[in-house]
Amino acid sequence: MRRRSILVGWSFILPNFVGFALFTLVPVIAAFGLAFMKWDGFNAPEFIGIRNFTRLFGDDSFHVALLNTVLYAVGHVPLTLAISLCLALLLNQKLRGIAFFRVAIFFPYITSLVAIAIVWNMLFNPTSGPINQFLHLIGIAHPPGWTASTTWALPAVIITGVWRDMGYYMVLFLAGLQAIPHEYYEAASVDGAGRWRTFWNITLPSLRPTTFLVLVLLSVSSFKVFDLIFVMTQGGPGRATLVLSQLIYQDGIINGQFGYASAISLVLFVIVLVVTVFQFRIQQRRER
C-alpha cells in the first residue's frame, strides 16, 4: 500500500515535472552557459568569457531597454496594486448583481491579448480615438499622442497593462478580504471605530500576506513584460517602449546572437532575483 501510494503520487507530479524540466529548467541552464559564449545557432559555440557582459556597458539599446523596463515596473506595480485593492474592497459588499461585476472586471485578464492591443490602440488613436475626443471635449486643445508619441507611448502601455491585470489581482485581494474573521469588524464597531480606522488597523494588517504575494507576482511579471508591448507597440515609436524581454527576442531570435541575448536574459534574471529577495527581506522584518 505504501509503495502504491508513492507511485500514485509520482504519477500526478511526473508529467508537470517532465514538462518543467524540458521547457524551463534545461533552457535556463543552457542560457547560463550560452551567456559566456558566441553562438549564431548554426556554427559551433565559441567560449568568449565575459565579453558579452562587457558589451552591455556600451550598448545603448540595452541602457534604453533597462530604463524602460524599470519605468514600466515603477508605473505598473503600484497602480495595479492600488486599483486592485480598491476594486476588491468595493466588490466585497453584499449587493445584488455583484457577481456580474466581479466577472466583468476579471474578464480582460482572460481575453485575447491581440484583441486587447487592437482595441486600446483604437482608443489611443491621436486623431480619431475616443480618449482624445473626450479630452478635446473637456477643453484640452493638444491631447497626448499616446502610442504615436515617444513621450506618451510607455504610459499608454502601462495604462493598458493595469486595465488587463487588475481583475486577476482583485480576485486575490477578494480572497484575502473574505478570509478576515468578521468578529474583528464587530469588535471594532463596538469600540466605535470608523471606516478609515477599521481599514487602517484591521483590513490592511490582515491583508499583509496577500499584499506581499500580489507585490511579488506583480514585480516579476512587470520586469518580464513582453507580449503586451510586442503586440501593442513593438517597442516603438523608435525605442520608446523597448524593454529587456523584447531586446532579448530581437538579439536572439531575429539577429541570431544567442550568446549575447543569453547574457541579457541573465542580467534580467539577476534583477528579478534581487527585487524578489529584497521584498522577502522587508516582509520578514515586518513579521518580526
Among 25-29, 138-142, 211-215, name the most confident range: 211-215
Kindly indicate the confidence band of residue 283, based on its pLDDT and cuts at 50, 70 and 90: confident
Q: Which amino acid is at 147?
A: T
pLDDT mean over 127-144: 91
**Cβ atoms 90, 166 nearer than 8 A:** no
pLDDT mean over 186-196: 84
In a domain, 6, yes or no: no
Q: Please name which of 64, 8, 65 lies closest in space to residue 249, comparing C-alpha atoms.
A: 65
Please provide residue 125's backbone torsions phi and psi, each rounded to the nearest 5 degrees: -55, 125
pLDDT mean over 183-211: 87
Q: Which residues of 23-47 are buried (b: 16+ CB within 10 A; e: fewer)?
A: eeeeeeeebeebbbbbbeeeeeeee
In a domain, 283, yes or no: yes
Task: Output the pLDDT for position 68.
Answer: 96
Task: Output the pLDDT for position 220.
Answer: 93
In a domain, 14, yes or no: no
Residue 50 sits in a domain whose CATH number is 1.10.3720.10
Least trusted range by pLDDT, from 51-55, 186-190, 260-264: 186-190
6 pLDDT higher than 90 = no
Query: How many other β-carbons are positioned within 10 Å of the β-carbon of residue 52?
Result: 22
In a domain, 24, yes or no: no
Spatial distance between the Cα atoms of 33 and 98, rounded to a whole number of angstroms: 52
State the DSSP code for 250. I
pLDDT mean over 195-222: 91
4 pLDDT higher than 90 = no
In a domain, 33, yes or no: no
Task: Output the pLDDT for position 22.
Answer: 87
183 pLDDT higher than 90 = no
Which pLDDT tens digit goes with each residue over 151-179? 999 999 999 999 999 999 999 999 999 99
Query: Which helix (H) or strand (E) is 38 found in, with range?
Result: strand 37-38
Kindly indicate the confidence band of residue 95, based on its pLDDT and cuts at 50, 70 and 90: confident
DSSP assignments along 69-138, one per residue: HHHHHHHHHHHHHHHHHHHHHHTTS--TTHHHHHHHHHHHHHS-HHHHHHHHHHHT-TTT-HHHHHHHHT
> Could you tell me the pTM of the whole model?
0.90
288 pLDDT higher than 80 = no
Instruction: Give the total number of structural domains in the chain.
Output: 1
Q: Which residues of 193-202 are buried (b: 16+ CB within 10 A; e: fewer)?
A: beeeebeeeb
43 pLDDT higher than 80 = yes
Task: Output the pLDDT for position 191.
Answer: 81
What domain range includes position 55? 38-287
